[in-house]
């Protein structure tokens, strides 16, 4: 078995870490954070202030050093199997294996050393991505073009041909190729300059004799600067040999479309720039050839008013910064969600118009498109105006902390003081997600308007004779019988369920304290109790009687649905069947309503579909232990350190990665025992490399406890911005 195939067969993660240590040599030393974290040296100082988005990762060498010196790697390297594996890898690298020898020879060559040095330097300081303002206009223009294409595509091939031939050059000219810069800050650009010289020589002399390539090589330009060196390669539409494309088999009509597209792309060009300026290695894609030279020339992002929080804080061990402009967020929404229903209606309508010229059908389609566009406009109004967003993180003694500002007013988030539902998270949950929401009035109005439209559209569809007789019956069934039930359900939610939950505080919790010692009669012996993942929710309750009344109405409605199903398909539901009333159990402070699940195939005790109602909250899930535990109000222990019992907060999150991994360990043990029997035996016969035993795998798994915990909060401040804070702590 080859060296590389054997590597893939082993424990991948541990070997990657070991290989990194072998190649790097000694663990990297953290550099002075005072030098590394100065924002004036970061990409924020060269990114234009009108950039669509910027993301940068800082102090990469320091981050890598902290990881290698952290609990995970330190404990991993103390495992005897990992030590044997490291020794085997080093020994293999010193053998005469031809694959290894070839790889090592390449790394020891002059060019190989240059590439290794560049690679090491690239990931030692800063990695960044800058998206120019053109991304916004590109997204907006592309969204409009995409909508027109979708509408034309619905009309079939002929409609698509007409659309393509009708496109004007001005349409495509408005969709500018967005400027994108990917870069790395270096300690020195000497190796990069040498590499660029070699790269240019290789391209020119290696490809210069190929005739079709010569026009492209003429556009390979070199620009030597006082502070760097840049290679640019520009490709324009005129350089493409359109007449040599394989279009001989196309019809005259199709050739005409190709010619038209060629005209549309006239004068369009794209430039790829690769170079180094001020010890930054960068690659840029743009329609402009001097993008890299322009960086840092005008007002930079560091002077943006939205970054004053970051500049004021200036944490000493920065790890990441990301900024998204209001213009890009608005354009992204437009590209992904804007006019969604209008575009869909236009596409379907275009297909309908292609099949008939009936005036009633045309009017129906036009009305549907108009109504769909109105829905899109109503949805767009929910978010009044998009604004900027900023997030940054920095290292601490125990892990990483971060803060974020989202200045777009969130129509779904509101503050609670305090957030009382946190008392219903249960005892030592592994995951907690809690939020206080608010629901924009427009959403309910949109839903009701759409439902009210259905009968009118049904009548017009029937009148236009668009359906077969049996389909007409189905449509009448929807409007006459199903729709009233839907409206009844919405009325129950609006008049009873939602008012009883008007605190709008909801929580999701995950635990793993329920265990089982059997998985059924045919299950192999279980060496230790297996934790069962428990997932439950909780909602703050303001009116218990109203909520229970709403539940009774919902149960009655469900039985009406059963009657309707039986009416439509008599054999689908037994004559005497009704939705059963849940069992009840009184507990301290409330009542538990539950359904006993079938015992067949479910040997785990304590699993029932249930909801527990107290005066202050409802808890619901499938674990009786967890639901009962959450119903009893108690202070939240697993929480961010800055969150107090009376804090004003809109959202709270907590994830215990170490606890989740620990809960999974008995299952891994069970799987290893079931598959291999003895945990001290290798999992397979050894070959060139040591093979782990089951206990080796379990020891490696234990190291992952270092992934620790993460917790965070969000609050809506006085300016309606959502301000978030989070922390990750290693163990």
Q: What is the DSSP string of 346-408?
A: HHHHHHHHHH---HHHHHHHHHHHHHHHHHHHHHHHHS-----EEEEEEE-SSEEEEEEEE-S
Q: Is it true that the peptide bond before 106 is cis, omega within 30 degrees of 0?
A: no
pLDDT for res 651: 97
The CA dihedral of 28, 34, 37, 40, to the nearest 10 degrees, is -140
* Residue 646 DSSP label: T
CB distance 547 to 506 below 8 Å: no
- How many angstroms separate the first and last alpha carbons of the chain? 38
Predicted local distance difference test score (pLDDT) of residue 415: 95
Sign of CA dihedral 456, 457, 462, 468: negative
Write down the pTM of the prediction: 0.85
Query: How many CB atoms are closer than 10 A to CB 246?
Result: 6
Burial (CB < 10 A; 0-12, 13-18, 19+), residue 544, is middle
Q: Is 113 helix (H, G, I), strand (E, B) or coil?
A: helix
In this prediction, residue 17 carries a pLDDT of 34
Q: Residue 271: in which H helix or E strand, if any? A: strand 269-277
In residues, how long is the chain? 731
Residues 6+ apart with CB under 8 A from 353: 155, 361, 362, 365
Report which of 54, 122, 38 is spatially closest to residue 317, judged by C-alpha positions: 38
- Interhelix angle for 80-93 vs 694-703, to 10°? 100
Buried b (16+ CB within 10 A) or exposed e, 524-537: eebeeebbbebebb
DSSP notation for 476-498? HHIIIIIHHHHHHHHHHIIIIIH
Between the alpha carbon of residue 152 and those of residues 159, 175, 337, 346, 432, the distances in Å are 5, 19, 19, 9, 48
Q: Which residue has the tokens 């290794």?
A: 116
With contact defined as beta carbons under 8 Å apart, do 627 and 609 qualify? no
Q: What per-residue confidence (pLDDT) applies to 329?
A: 94
Which residues does the chain have with pLDDT short of 50? 1-36
For residues 295 and 195, the answer to whether their CB atoms sit within 8 Å is no
By the 8 A CB rule, do 540 and 617 touch?
Answer: yes
- Residue 246 confidence (pLDDT): 63
For every residue of 214-249, DSSP letters joined together read HHHHTTEEEEEETTEEEEEEEEEGGGS-GGGSS-TT
């Amino acid at each position: 078995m080859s060296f590389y195939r054997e590597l893939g067969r082993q424990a991948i993660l541990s070997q990657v870490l070991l290989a990194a240590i072998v190649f790097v040599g000694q663990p990297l030393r953290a550099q002075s954070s005072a030098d590394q974290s100065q924002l004036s040296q970061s990409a924020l100082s060269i990114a234009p202030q009108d950039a669509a988005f910027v993301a940068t990762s800082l102090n990469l060498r320091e981050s890598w050093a902290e990881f290698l010196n952290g609990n995970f790697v330190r404990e991993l390297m103390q495992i005897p199997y990992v030590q044997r594996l490291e020794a085997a890898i080093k020994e293999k690298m010193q053998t005469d294996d031809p694959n290894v020898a070839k790889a090592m020879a390449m790394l020891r060559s002059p060019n190989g050393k240059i590439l290794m040095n560049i690679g090491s330097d690239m990931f030692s300081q800063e990695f960044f991505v800058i998206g120019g303002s053109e991304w916004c206009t590109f997204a907006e223009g592309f969204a409009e073009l995409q909508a027109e294409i979708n509408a034309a595509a619905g009309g079939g091939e002929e409609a698509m041909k007409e659309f393509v031939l009708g496109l004007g050059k001005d349409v495509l000219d408005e969709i500018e190729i967005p400027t994108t810069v990917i870069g790395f800050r270096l300690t020195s650009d000497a190796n990069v300059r040498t590499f660029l010289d070699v790269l240019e020589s290789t391209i020119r002399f290696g490809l210069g004799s190929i005739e079709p390539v010569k026009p492209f090589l003429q556009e390979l330009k070199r620009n030597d600067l006082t502070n760097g060196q840049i290679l640019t390669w520009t490709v324009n539409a005129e350089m493409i040999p359109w007449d040599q494309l394989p279009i001989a088999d196309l019809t005259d009509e199709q050739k005409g479309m190709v010619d038209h597209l060629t005209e549309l792309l006239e004068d369009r060009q794209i430039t790829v720039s690769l170079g180094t300026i001020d010890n930054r290695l960068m690659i840029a894609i743009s329609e402009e050839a001097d993008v890299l030279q322009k960086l840092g020339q005008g007002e930079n992002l560091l002077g943006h008013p939205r970054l004053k929080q970051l500049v004021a804080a200036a944490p000493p061990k920065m790890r990441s910064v990301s900024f998204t402009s209001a213009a890009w967020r608005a354009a992204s929404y437009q590209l992904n969600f804007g006019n969604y229903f209008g575009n869909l209606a236009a596409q379907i309508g275009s297909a309908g118009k292609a099949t008939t010229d009936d005036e009633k059908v045309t009017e129906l389609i036009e009305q549907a498109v108009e109504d769909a566009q109105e829905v899109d406009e109503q949805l767009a109004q929910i978010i009044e105006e998009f604004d900027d967003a900023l997030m940054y993180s920095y290292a601490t003694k125990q892990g990483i902390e971060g803060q974020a500002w989202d200045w777009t007013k969130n129509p779904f988030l509101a503050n609670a003081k305090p957030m009382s539902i946190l008392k219903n998270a249960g005892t030592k949950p592994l995951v907690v997600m809690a939020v206080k929401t608010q629901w924009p009035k427009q959403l309910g109005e949109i839903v009701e308007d759409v439902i009210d439209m259905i009968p009118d559209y049904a009548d017009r569809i029937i009148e236009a004779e668009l359906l077969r007789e049996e389909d007409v019956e189905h449509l009448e069934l929807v409007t006459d019988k199903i729709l009233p039930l839907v409206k009844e359900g919405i009325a129950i939610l609006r008049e009873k369920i939602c008012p009883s939950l008007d605190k709008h505080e909801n929580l999701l919790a995950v635990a793993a304290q329920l265990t089982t010692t059997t998985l059924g009669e045919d299950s192999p012996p279980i060496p230790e109790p297996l934790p069962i993942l428990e997932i439950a929710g909780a909602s703050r309750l303001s009116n218990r009687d109203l909520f229970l009344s709403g539940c009774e109405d919902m149960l009655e409605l469900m039985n009406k649905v059963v009657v309707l199903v039986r009416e439509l398909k008599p054999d689908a539901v037994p004559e005497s069947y009704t939705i059963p009333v849940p069992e009840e159990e009184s507990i301290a402070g409330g009542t538990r309503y539950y359904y006993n699940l079938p015992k067949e195939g479910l040997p785990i005790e304590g699993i029932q579909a249930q909801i527990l109602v107290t005066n202050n909250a409802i808890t619901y899930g499938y674990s009786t232990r967890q639901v009962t535990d959450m119903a009893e109000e108690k202070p939240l222990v697993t929480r961010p350190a800055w969150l107090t019992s009376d804090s004003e907060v809109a959202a709270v999150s907590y994830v215990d990665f170490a606890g989740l991994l620990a809960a999974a360990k008995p299952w891994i043990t069970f799987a290893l025992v079931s598959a291999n029997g003895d945990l001290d035996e290798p999992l397979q016969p050894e070959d060139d490399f040591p093979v782990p035993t089951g206990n080796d795998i379990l020891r490696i798994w234990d190291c992952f406890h270092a992934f620790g915990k993460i917790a965070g909060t969000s609050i809506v401040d006085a300016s309606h911005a959502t301000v978030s804070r989070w922390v990750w702590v290693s163990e």
